[in-house]
Structure 1
């Protein structure tokens, strides 16, 4: 049996509440040439039983003997995949039905593109949409890497989005060394930046994924530590002459960073309020 074209890698830790819906959202794709790799990170809740309950032959379930750190776990999930193109989907997020088809078409038809990202919806614990069609402001369509990096610096946060909204080439992921454990909160953005050393970026205007905002997630824990890491990453980019970041980009980014953080905090407060009412 030949390998699938696309691998959707789902690292799952204590994900019993959401992981079934996450896997179902992948199995409901209009694109058919994919595999699902679920890596249970030694969960002690119902996660193992839930993920092993899927009889679909496209789903492969693996389990770690011990709980691995985030980057190591995500890297193992990708290492176990067999597809030419890879998406990492957190175990509480969702894909819209056309996500894989639309993103596969971009990478398969343009070898010069290293990363494709789509806009996404922000959802709460129940799946209700808190904010629709978010992200990629000024980044829709095809963009050269240096232009994207300047946008990242000016944004002050992560304008490209979380892993669920992205698709990349396995070969290039391996070439850049995968997820970098030196970062925690901006680990996804740090990978996107390194991938852009291999090709262009393509931003899709439609919302093709849903990012869940819920208590207990890594994103919910973010605060000053996330802000400090984001600023450190932006400074690294601004100081690297290969990207051609201008002084004005750095100034705009310094001004915008607090607003990027406040927007994210506001979404988590909104999700908390919604949860209290439900």
Structure 2
């Protein structure tokens, strides 16, 4: 059996509440040449039972014998994939039916493009939209890597978005060493930065994914630790002469970072209140 063009990788840990919806959204993609790899990270809830309920031949289910740390688990699910292009989708997020096709068409058309990201909707635990068409401000269309890096520094947060909104080349993922365990909260952004060392960026105007804002999620617990890691990542970029980050970019980023943090915290606060009312 030949390898699929695109591998959609889903790391799953205690994912029973949302996993079925996530898998269904991936299997509903309009691009046929897709494999779906789900890695159950030794879950003890209903995750294994839910996965046994799917019979689609495009789906492969794997399971860890023990719980792996986040970066190791994410890297393993990508290592098990066979596609030339890869998308990682967290087990509570969703994809628009055209997401993979539209992003595949961008990457497959030009080897000089290393990363494509789409805008996304922020949804609550019930799947209701909290904020639509988020991300990629000033980054829509094709952008040189250096331009994107400077905008990341100026943003003070993650203007490119979470893994579900991105598609990248497996070859380049391996070349940069995958997800870096030294980072906990901006682990995805650190990967995007590494991939940009291999080519240009394309930002898609349409919202093609949905990130679920949950009260118990890693991002909801971030607060000061996330802020500190984000600032350290930005400072590292600003100090690298290869990216041409200007002093004004660093100053703007330092000024913008608290606001980026507060906007994200506000979404989690809204999700928490809605969940409590529900």
TM-score range, shorter chain: over 0.9
- In structure 2, the residue matched to 1:57 is 57
Structure 2 Cα separation of the partners of residues 163 and 176 of structure 1: 16
Query: In the aligned structure 1, how far is the partner of 2:242 from the partner of 2:153?
Result: 14
Partner of 2:159: 159
**Residue of structure 2 in register with 1:3 after alignment:** 3
Instruction: Name the structure 2 match of 1:47.
Output: 47
TM-score when scaled to structure 2?
Answer: 0.99
Matched residue, 2:242: 242
SS at match of 1:102: helix
Quote how far apart the aligned CAs of 1:197 are: 0.3
> Normalising by the residue count of structure 1, what TM-score does the alignment of the two structures yield?
0.99
In structure 2, what is the Cα distance between the partners aligned to 1:112 and 1:276? 47
Equivalent-residue separation in structure 2 for 1:111 and 1:124 (angstroms): 36
For 1:87-98, what aligned pairs fall within 5 Å after superposition? 87-98=87-98
Secondary structure at the residue paired with 1:198?
coil
List runs of 5+ in structure 2 lacking aligned partners. Answer: none
Matched, 1:264 2:260: no
Match of 1:91, SS state, is: coil
Deviations 1:54-104 (A, max 9, x none): 100000000000000000000000000000000000000000111001000
Aligned equivalent of 2:81: 81
Distance 2:11 2:176 in 1: 20
Residue in structure 2 matched with residue 104 of structure 1 by the alignment: 104
Task: Point out 4+ residue stretches in structure 1 off by more than 3 angstroms.
Answer: none
Aligned CA RMSD, in angstroms, stands at 0.5
Q: Distance in 1 between matches of 2:140 and 2:110?
A: 16
1:199-218 counterparts in 2 under 5 A?
Answer: 199-218=199-218
In structure 2, the residue matched to 1:136 is: 136
Count of equivalent residues:
278
Instruction: Tell me which residue corresponds to 1:252.
Output: 252
> 1:269: how far off?
0.7
